[in-house]
């Protein structure tokens, strides 16, 4: 669905450009490298890169790496891979840590102008002094230190003279402000930790708020787009830029993408990975970009979904079905059709000439004539799905039943005349005759049957491990557990079933990452665990939504 009207961010941008406030649209995507990107980040990526493209501007990738204890090079690399896979390329790559020197100098400047001070309150006292939403804060007893004393202490903080956590640098704003973010926020903390890029060069680290706006400013960003929880930080963002007298970008907030049944916070995802509830960040059940890639989602479907979800000013939850439908819609257009039987029962054609193999022809994709056709071997011994047969069936059961007939896709109409049972009375083989006049494509019989089912020739079938993935959580909002429970209580015990599938021979050539439709079942992708000895397919998504049915 194309959106005709412009969303509020486009409107704000156009107003600012028209007023001459900025010379262009310069955006950035600023992940903290403390985990893998998730589908919520995809939304921000599509927005920031998309706006830069739409208005002929640029979009940077900037790692917001001010928290040395949580950040790792592995994450830096995965983030770049994921952005590229989504189809975007940054104009330039930056790290907030590249600006540590500049930030330090600016901090000294603010101290020199009486806008920042070194505070010795403990963390607990600082909290106490900060006040609450209804109570104003109290001034720190260290608030009136002289510029000289503050400069001296700050330099000695940097020089490593004080223990971790013993002092902070704070901006001197207003302890009575109704906005708690303006009650003398912390700019620097003492922390001896090895940074993934600056190593042990620093033992004081800037806070997010003291870093973010200045990094935007240094890069000449015009529109600093972030999520709603930073709305109350905007006055602080503006205060720093004004006090420093530097290029002043405009911060604009939008609502985070939230999807039903997903748990996206990096904190939760890290726990799932570390404690082994999933097989790594790229487990196909994870809401990460790398998980979706391995699951077989296409970048196009994720981009389409993000565009369709729109940009909102208020938080809401989007039904996960919309993401799944975006995947179905794209794969329906591009995936080749193949036959595969995942829950097999033998069908024997009793009037088929012994040993005869006949090639039949099937189209690869009814949505795309250019995808051509393929040949499939047909024989007297086939696999069909258990589910497509009933010995006794209601009138409206249009698959195969005893005494009934069905068309085998791209093959013949068969009539079932008998079954073979095991000692317990279970049907283990279905006996049919075929009608030679009814071959698909050259049917001269005039016979009509209601049902068509898929099959594979038993002797030609290719065996594969098939991983049937389903939702990881059984509830709409696993992040909001009932009293006494955690998100772990909502894990879906059936989120992965591993079975053996019987595939038509063309699938022996499927390559890593190839996506196909197993007719009547769903979309599947070749998993990287595939080896020359063992093919592995992942279920991307079923053909239609069957959750809860
Ligand atoms: P999380 O804790 O879920 O990983 P985060 O906001 O801490 O989220 P960052 O690495 O700081 O993760 O995010 C980088 C950018 O992506 C930020 O600009 C942030 O606003 C945006 N972002 C993060 N989550 C979402 C979301 N669910 N929807 C839209 N944008 C998001
Ligand atoms: Mg963040
Ligand atoms: Mg986070």
Q: Is 79 annotated as a binding residue?
A: no
Spatial separation of the C-alpha atoms in residues 524 and 248, rounded to whole Å: 49
> What's the confidence (pLDDT) of residue 152?
98
Spatial separation of the C-alpha atoms in residues 436 and 444, rounded to whole Å: 9
pLDDT surpassing 50 at residue 549: no
Spatial separation of the C-alpha atoms in residues 188 and 44, rounded to whole Å: 28
Which residue, 129, 109, 226, 223, is CA-closest to 185? Answer: 129
pTM: 0.95
pLDDT surpassing 90 at residue 115: yes
For 270, the enclosing helix (H) or strand (E) is helix 266-274
One domain for residues 43 and 140 = yes
Does ligand 1 have an atom closer than 6 angstroms to the CB of 30? yes
pLDDT surpassing 80 at residue 424: yes
Spatial separation of the C-alpha atoms in residues 528 and 258, rounded to whole Å: 29
One domain for residues 163 and 23 = yes
Q: Is 64 annotated as a binding residue?
A: yes
One domain for residues 369 and 423 = yes
One domain for residues 472 and 523 = yes
Q: Which of 461, 483, 518 corresponds to the end of one domain? A: 461
Spatial separation of the C-alpha atoms in residues 366 and 410, rounded to whole Å: 13
Ligand 1 atom with least separation from CA of 256 = 28
One domain for residues 245 and 319 = no
One domain for residues 43 and 154 = yes
User: Has residue 547 been placed in a domain?
Assistant: no
pLDDT tens for each residue of 467-518: 999 999 999 999 999 999 999 999 999 999 999 999 999 999 999 999 999 9
Number of structural domains the chain divides into: 3
Specify the 3-state DSSP secondary structure of 371.
Answer: helix
**Bridge partners, 432 (sequence order):** 349, 416
Q: Is 120 exposed, middle or buried (0-12, 13-18, 19+ CB in 10 A)?
A: middle
User: Has residue 549 been placed in a domain?
Assistant: no
pLDDT tens for each residue of 224-250: 999 999 999 999 999 999 999 999 999
Measure 288 CA to ligand 1 centroid, in angstroms. 12
One domain for residues 289 and 376 = no
Does ligand 1 have an atom closer than 6 angstroms to the CB of 266? yes
**Do residues 420 and 428 touch, judged by C-beta distance below 8 A?**
yes
One domain for residues 248 and 360 = no
For 536, the enclosing helix (H) or strand (E) is strand 536-542
Spatial separation of the C-alpha atoms in residues 46 and 223, rounded to whole Å: 15
Q: What is the mean pLDDT of residues 148-167?
A: 98
pLDDT surpassing 90 at residue 76: yes
Atom 25 of ligand 1: nearest residue by CA position: 40
Measure 249 CA to ligand 3 centroid, in angstroms. 23
> What's the confidence (pLDDT) of residue 3?
56
> What's the confidence (pLDDT) of residue 474?
96
Band of pLDDT at residue 71, cut at 50, 70 and 90: confident
Measure 33 CA to ligand 3 centroid, in angstroms. 9
Show the domain range for 305.
266-334+464-503+510-542
Q: What is the mean pLDDT of residues 460-464?
A: 98
Band of pLDDT at residue 198, cut at 50, 70 and 90: very high
| Structure tokens given for 122 | 């403990």
User: Has residue 548 been placed in a domain?
Assistant: no
Q: Which segments of 320-357 are extended strands (E)?
A: 336-338, 340-341, 344-349
**Do residues 170 and 119 touch, judged by C-beta distance below 8 A?**
yes
Does ligand 1 have an atom closer than 6 angstroms to the CB of 503? no
One domain for residues 474 and 528 = yes
Question: What ipTM was predicted for this assembly?
Answer: 0.96
One domain for residues 282 and 316 = yes
Q: What is the mean pLDDT of residues 79-106?
A: 98
Spatial separation of the C-alpha atoms in residues 385 and 100, rounded to whole Å: 63
> What's the confidence (pLDDT) of residue 507?
97
Q: What is the mean pLDDT of residues 318-325?
A: 97
Band of pLDDT at residue 274, cut at 50, 70 and 90: very high
Ligand 1 atom with least separation from CA of 45 = 16
pLDDT tens for each residue of 9-30: 999 999 999 999 999 999 999 9
pLDDT surpassing 70 at residue 445: yes
pLDDT surpassing 80 at residue 217: yes
**Bridge partners, 536 (sequence order):** 465
Q: Is 32 annotated as a binding residue?
A: yes
**Do residues 192 and 166 touch, judged by C-beta distance below 8 A?**
no
Cα 298 from chain centre? 11
> What's the confidence (pLDDT) of residue 544?
83
Atom 13 of ligand 1: nearest residue by CA position: 31
One domain for residues 234 and 342 = no
**Bridge partners, 206 (sequence order):** 188
Residues with CB under 5 A from ligand 2 (ion): 32
pLDDT tens for each residue of 392-410: 998 889 999 999 999 999 9
pLDDT surpassing 60 at residue 545: yes
> What's the confidence (pLDDT) of residue 395?
87
Q: What is the mean pLDDT of residues 356-384?
A: 97
Does ligand 1 have an atom closer than 6 angstroms to the CB of 141? no
pLDDT surpassing 70 at residue 159: yes
The number of C-alpha atoms within 13 Å of 1 and in the hemisphere containing its C-beta is 10
Annotate 78-139 with DSSP letters as a single string. Answer: HHHHHHHHHT---S-EEEGGGGHHHHHHHHHHHHHTTSEEEE---HHHHHHHH--SSS----
SS (H, E, C) 6-33: CCHHHHHHHHHHHCCCCCCCEEEECCCC
State the CATH number of the domain containing residue 374: 2.40.240.10
Ligand 1 atom with least separation from CA of 227 = 20
What integer best gives the mean pLDDT of the chain? 96
DSSP label of 444: -
State the CATH number of the domain containing residue 128: 3.40.50.620
């Amino acid at each position: 669905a194309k959106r005709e009207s412009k969303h509020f961010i486009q409107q704000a941008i156009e107003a600012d450009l028209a007023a001459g406030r900025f010379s262009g649209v310069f955006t950035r995507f600023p992940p903290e490298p403390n985990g893998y990107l998730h589908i919520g980040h995809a939304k921000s990526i599509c927005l920031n890169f998309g706006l830069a493209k739409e208005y002929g501007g640029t979009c940077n990738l900037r790692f917001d790496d001010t928290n040395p204890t949580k950040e790792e090079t592995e994450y830096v690399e995965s983030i770049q891979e994921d952005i590229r896979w989504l189809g975007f390329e940054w104009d330039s790559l930056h790290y907030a840590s590249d600006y540590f020197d500049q930030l330090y100098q600016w901090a000294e400047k603010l101290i020199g102008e009486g806008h920042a001070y070194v505070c010795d309150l403990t963390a607990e006292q600082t909290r106490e002094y900060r006040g609450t939403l209804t109570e104003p804060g109290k001034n720190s007893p260290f608030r009136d230190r002289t510029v000289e004393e503050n400069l001296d202490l700050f330099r000695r903080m940097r020089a490593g003279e004080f223990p971790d956590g013993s002092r902070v640098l704070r901006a001197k704003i207003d302890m009575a402000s109704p906005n708690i973010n303006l009650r003398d926020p912390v700019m620097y903390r003492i922390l001896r930790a090895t940074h993934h890029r600056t190593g042990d060069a620093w033992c004081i680290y800037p806070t997010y708020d003291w870093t973010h706006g200045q990094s935007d400013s240094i890069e000449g960003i015009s529109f600093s787009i972030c999520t709603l929880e930073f709305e109350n930080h905007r006055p602080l963002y503006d205060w720093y830029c004004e006090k420093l007298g530097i290029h002043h970008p405009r911060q604009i907030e939008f609502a985070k993408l939230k999807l039903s049944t997903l748990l996206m916070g990096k904190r939760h995802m890290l726990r799932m990975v570390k404690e082994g509830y999933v097989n790594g960040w790229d487990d196909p059940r994870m809401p990460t970009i790398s998980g979706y890639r391995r699951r077989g989602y296409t970048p196009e479907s994720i981009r389409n979904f993000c565009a369709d979800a729109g940009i909102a000013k208020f938080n809401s939850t989007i039904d996960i079905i919309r993401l799944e439908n975006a995947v179905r819609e794209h794969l329906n257009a591009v995936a080749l059709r193949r036959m595969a039987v995942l829950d097999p029962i033998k069908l024997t054609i009793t009037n088929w000439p012994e040993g005869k193999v006949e090639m039949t022809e099937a189209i690869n994709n009814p949505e795309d004539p250019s995808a051509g056709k393929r040949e499939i071997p047909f024989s007297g011994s086939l696999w069909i799905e258990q589910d497509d047969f009933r010995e006794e069936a209601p009138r409206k059961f249009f698959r195969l039943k005893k005494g009934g007939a069905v068309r085998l896709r791209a093959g013949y109409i068969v009539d079932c005349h008998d079954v073979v049972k095991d000692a317990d009375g279970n049907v283990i083989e279905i006996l049919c005759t075929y009608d030679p006049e009814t071959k698909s494509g050259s049917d001269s019989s005039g016979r009509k049957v209601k049902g068509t089912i898929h099959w594979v020739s038993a002797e030609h079938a290719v065996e594969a491990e098939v991983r049937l993935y389903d939702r990881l959580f059984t509830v709409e909002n696993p992040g909001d557990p009932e009293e006494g429970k955690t998100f772990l209580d909502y894990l879906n015990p059936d989120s992965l079933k591993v079975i053996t599938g019987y595939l038509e021979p063309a699938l022996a050539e499927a390559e890593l990452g190839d996506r196909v439709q197993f007719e009547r079942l769903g979309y599947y992708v070749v998993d990287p665990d595939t080896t020359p000895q063992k093919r592995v397919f992942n279920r991307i998504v079923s053909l239609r939504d069957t959750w809860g049915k």
